[in-house]
Amino acid sequence: MFSRAYRAAITVPPLVWVAVFLLLPYALLFCYSFWSVSSSQEIVHSWTLDNYRQLLRVNVYWQTLLRSMWIAARVTIFSLLLGYPLAYYLSFCAGKRKDLLYQLVIIPLWVSYLVRAYAWKTILGSDGVLNTLLQYVHLTSHPLDFLLYSPFAVVLTLTHIYTPFTFLPIYAALEHIPRNLVEASHDLGASPFQTFWRVIFPLSIPGVLAGATFAFVLSLGDFLAPLLLGGPSGIMISNIVVSLFGAAYNWPLGAAISFCMLALVLALLSLSESLEKKWSFR
């Protein structure tokens, strides 16, 4: 159809881009994960599996990884619990208000991540909005300190930030359900409740899987929320990677942890993709 030159002209730039800015750094990082650091803080370019061994041997690394996964899992569940009903309401019940509500869900995505994280800091802090309110109505006599600098604060903030990411694919999936299927279900005697569980929900599963993958993968790799709101008990694996590449100057170990996360995420993505395929019918 198109000339060779034309095809080359449009395919080469993106390939170069991917190679230079994605594959090359990853390859370099992959090499780093098999190198080590000398006592004089220099990278030793000799191959070793020590970094990966250390990851398994030192408790703090794999425990933090597990905790990060647990936090990500909670964020996923909460954002699904918030995002699904919201998407359902918008798609099936909102009527004329649909567009306005949709915009309201999307607008927070335009607000800087940092602003949203700091907003929670002012809400949850010991003299923050929430504590002041609780003391004002005499539900508590002194500020609750578990609100901020805890895994709770991290889960809350990440749920707030990533709910639109679960909402969007679920909303798209619901919007794609032909409305005559819903009518057919009612016509065949199914109540709205039965219709939801037998028709609407099964057909929205690809959206749910996509949304869950977004929320889990994005919050697993998050480091700003735990940095700003997590405190010592809310540290996540990315914070460790950041400090290994920064202050600790142990790039090889940082690279090894990064690669473990990358492998985990790729495994999750391929799992969710195959599940989505299984649940899509068009």
Partner 1 sequence: MALRATRDNLATVSEPATTGATPSSASPLLDIRNVAKSFGKNVVLRNISLQVAEGEFLTILGESGSGKTTLLRIIAGFEAASSGEILMGGERLDRLPPYQRRVNTVFQHYALFPHLTVAENVGYGLRVAKLPPQEIATRVEQALDMVKMTAYSAVKPAKISGGQQQRIALARALVNRPRLLLLDEPLSALDANLRRQMQVELKSLQREVGISFVFVTHDQEEAMVMSDRIALLRMGELEQVASPREIYNRPASAYTAQFIGHTNLLSGEVKDGVAHCQSLSWRTGLRDGPGLFSLRPENIRLATGVSTGAAVRFRAKILRQAFHGATELLQVECADGLLLSIRAASRDNWSGDVDLEFSSADAVPVRASEIQQPQGKD
Residues at the site binding partner 1, with contacts judged by CB under 8 A: 178, 180-181, 183-192, 194, 198-199, 202-203, 279, 281-282
Q: Which is nearer to partner 1, 71 or 209 (CB)?
A: 209
First to last CA, the chain: 29
Residue 189 C-beta: closest distance to partner 1, Å: 5
For 30, residues 6+ apart whose C-beta sits below 8 A from its C-beta are 255, 259
Q: Which is nearer to partner 1, 53 or 278 (CB)?
A: 278
Residue 84 C-beta: closest distance to partner 1, Å: 18
Which of 165, 163, 175 minimizes the C-alpha distance to 94?
Answer: 175
Q: Which is nearer to partner 1, 155 or 203 (CB)?
A: 203
Which of 84, 200, 111 minimizes the C-alpha distance to 119?
Answer: 111
Residue 280 C-beta: closest distance to partner 1, Å: 9
Residue 183 C-beta: closest distance to partner 1, Å: 5
Torsion of CA 72, 76, 78, 84, to 10 degrees: 170
Cβ atoms of 162 and 80 closer than 8 Å: no
Q: Which is nearer to partner 1, 2 or 193 (CB)?
A: 193
Q: Which is nearer to partner 1, 46 or 180 (CB)?
A: 180
Residue 198 C-beta: closest distance to partner 1, Å: 7
Which of 125, 187, 124, 207 minimizes the C-alpha distance to 160?
Answer: 124
